[in-house]
């Protein structure tokens, strides 16, 4: 660190006060010269530190772009890309900070020793972040999910947008971005809806009592056969689930490719409604009977 000491510490305080009180022009000129020299030296250090900072920011941006381009060219998985990009950026910013401090005249050896001595306290204060860092590494190694997967975890559901060193970023269906700690994500329950190639859709259909159960089954199977996105292996199945208070309830199970899940669900639900009305298959509605005594 630069200590702006204009007055020579070797001189006694009484002697300095006497020189100032006497108005010794030569002594005052010497003090002014030392002050100007130290000010120039300090200004140079500050200027150099500012230049290093801005040049370092430009270099960090350049390195980030270069690494990003290299990972994309090598077709590295997006999950690993986001984690490495976040980690590399943090490390480069720490290195830039140490370089700027060194340019200001701070003894980096003493600074490093100070950081080492405070390591225990800092570690305790940042225990949550260290846990999140470890959780991020666990997620990266065991890969319970990756970027682009739709997951439900910690009471939140959405598409994984990025996996950073401390947080997993989830983009909800209504376009809200949520940051979930990696520590909790690596040790909690996670439902991954995108990990498998196929998913099963269950359609629950209720009809009025008196309808022909076999006719209902055949109509549903015809609808499923007409939908190209529904897989025929495993084959669609329709069975009578239970006899409700006011309806006979059927459950139909079909398999689709995971990306087609919601499109097929909404499209087939509407077709079931239209086709049943067209063929005269009645849907039940709740009725209330009031007896007057």
The average pLDDT across 71-84 equals 74
Burial of 33 (0-12, 13-18, 19+ CB in 10 A): exposed
Instruction: Return the higher-pLDDT residue of 145 and 293.
Output: 145
Nearest to 160 by CA among 168, 82, 78: 168
Query: For residue 237, which phi and psi values (nearest 5 degrees)?
Result: -130, 145
Task: Please report the pLDDT score of residue 161 as a whole number.
Answer: 93
The pairing of beta strand 248-257 with beta strand 198-207: antiparallel
Q: Between the ranges 96-105, 132-141, 249-258, where is the mean pLDDT highest?
A: 249-258
| Mean pLDDT, all residues of the chain | 82
Checking if the pLDDT of 93 tops 80, the result is yes
Q: Give the Cα separation of 153 and 282 in Å (integer).
A: 40
Which residue has tokens 């305080």?
13
| Residue 3 DSSP class | -
Which residue has tokens 């090598």?
74
User: What tokens were used for 31?
Assistant: 């003090």
Task: Please report the pLDDT score of residue 272 as a whole number.
Answer: 96
Tell me the three state secondary structure of residue 167: strand
Which residue has tokens 């666990």?
138
Task: Please report the pLDDT score of residue 109 as a whole number.
Answer: 63
Query: For residue 168, which phi and psi values (nearest 5 degrees)?
Result: -105, 130
Nearest to 172 by CA among 188, 156, 184: 156
Cis peptide bond N-terminal to 4, omega within 30: no
Task: Please report the pLDDT score of residue 31 as a whole number.
Answer: 60
Task: Please report the pLDDT score of residue 5 as a whole number.
Answer: 45
Query: For residue 11, which phi and psi values (nearest 5 degrees)?
Result: -80, 145
| Residues 163 and 140 sit within 8 Å (Cβ to Cβ) | yes
Query: For residue 154, which phi and psi values (nearest 5 degrees)?
Result: 55, 35
Instruction: Return the higher-pLDDT residue of 22 and 264.
Output: 264
| Residues 207 and 285 sit within 8 Å (Cβ to Cβ) | no
Task: Please report the pLDDT score of residue 4 as a whole number.
Answer: 40
Task: Please report the pLDDT score of residue 32 as a whole number.
Answer: 63
Checking if the pLDDT of 29 tops 70, the result is no
Q: Which of 3-12, 64-73, 194-203, 234-243 has the lowest mean pLDDT?
A: 3-12
pTM, 2 dp: 0.61
Task: Please report the pLDDT score of residue 223 as a whole number.
Answer: 96
Q: Give the Cα separation of 8 and 16 in Å (integer).
A: 9
């Amino acid at each position: 660190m630069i200590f702006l000491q204009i007055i020579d510490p070797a001189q006694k305080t009484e002697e300095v006060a006497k020189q100032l009180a006497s108005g010794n022009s030569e002594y005052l000129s010497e003090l002014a010269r030392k002050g100007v020299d130290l000010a120039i030296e300090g200004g140079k250090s500050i200027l150099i530190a500012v230049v290093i900072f801005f040049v370092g920011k430009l270099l960090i941006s350049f390195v980030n772009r270069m690494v990003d381009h290299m990972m994309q060219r090598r077709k590295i998985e997006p999950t690993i890309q986001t984690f490495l990009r976040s980690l590399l950026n943090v490390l480069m910013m720490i290195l830039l900070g140490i370089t700027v401090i060194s340019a200001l005249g701070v003894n980096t050896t003493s600074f490093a020793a100070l950081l080492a001595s405070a390591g225990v306290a800092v570690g305790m204060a940042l225990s949550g972040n260290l846990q999140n860092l470890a959780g991020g590494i666990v997620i990266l190694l065991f890969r319970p999910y990756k970027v682009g997967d739709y997951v439900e975890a910690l009471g939140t559901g959405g598409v994984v947008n990025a996996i950073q060193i401390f947080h997993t970023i989830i983009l909800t269906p209504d376009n809200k971005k949520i940051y979930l700690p990696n520590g909790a994500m690596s040790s909690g329950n996670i439902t991954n809806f995108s990990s498998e190639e196929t998913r099963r859709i269950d359609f629950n259909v209720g009809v009025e009592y008196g309808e022909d159960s076999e006719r209902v089954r055949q109509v549903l199977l015809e609808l499923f056969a007409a939908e190209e996105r529904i897989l025929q292996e495993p084959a669609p199945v329709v069975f009578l689930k239970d006899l409700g208070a006011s309806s006979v309830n059927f459950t139909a199970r079909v398999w689709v490719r995971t990306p087609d899940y919601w499109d097929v669900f909404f499209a087939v639900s509407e077709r079931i409604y239209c086709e049943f009305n067209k063929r005269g298959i009645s849907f039940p509605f709740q009725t209330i009977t009031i007896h007057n005594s």
